[in-house]
Amino acid sequence: MSVTDSLQVVLANTYLLYLKTQNYHWNVAGGSFFIGLHELFEKQYTELAEAVDVIAERIRQLGPKVPATFADFAKAAELKEGDVSKTSQQMLADLAADQDKIIQVLKNAWDVADKSQDEVTADMLIERMEAHSKAAWFYKSSIE
C-alpha cells in the first residue's frame, strides 16, 4: 500500500467519524448531561473537520487528487455510521470505540509512511493519534 492509499483510508475514516460525531451532536438527549455532551460533540466534530482538511491537503502535496465522495469514503472506511436511536451513553461508547479503531488505522498508515521514509506524513499521523487518544479519554471518562 502506498502512503497516499493509506492516507485515503485515514481520510475516509476521519470524515465518517466527523459526520457521525456531528450527527450525535444534533441528536443527543439526556437531561442534565445534554449540554455537556452537546458541547463535547461539537468540539470534537470541529476538530475533525480541521483534520479532514489537513489529511486531504497532505494527499494533494504528495501528488494525487483526493477521492472525496460519499461513495469513496464508504468504500474505504472501516467505521460505521451513527445510529440516532442510541442513548447518550451508547453514543459515548460508540464514539469511544471508534477512537480506538481510528488510532489503529492511523498506526497502520504510520507504518507505511515510516517504511517510505516520509517523515512529514508520519509526524502528521502521530499528531492525529494524539488527538484521537485524547478524544477516547474524554468519551470513556464521560460514560457512567
Which domains are seen in the chain, by residue range?
A: 3-142 (1.20.1260.10)
Output the CA torsion sign for 61, 113, 136, 130. Answer: negative
58-63: long-range contacts, CB 8 A cutoff, minimum separation 24: 58/7, 58/120, 58/121, 58/124, 59/4, 59/7, 59/8, 59/11, 62/3, 62/4, 62/7, 62/118, 62/121, 63/4
- Each residue of 4-32: pLDDT tens digit? 999 999 999 999 999 999 999 999 997 78
Per-residue pLDDT at 46 exceeds 80: yes
- Each residue of 115-127: pLDDT tens digit? 999 999 999 999 9
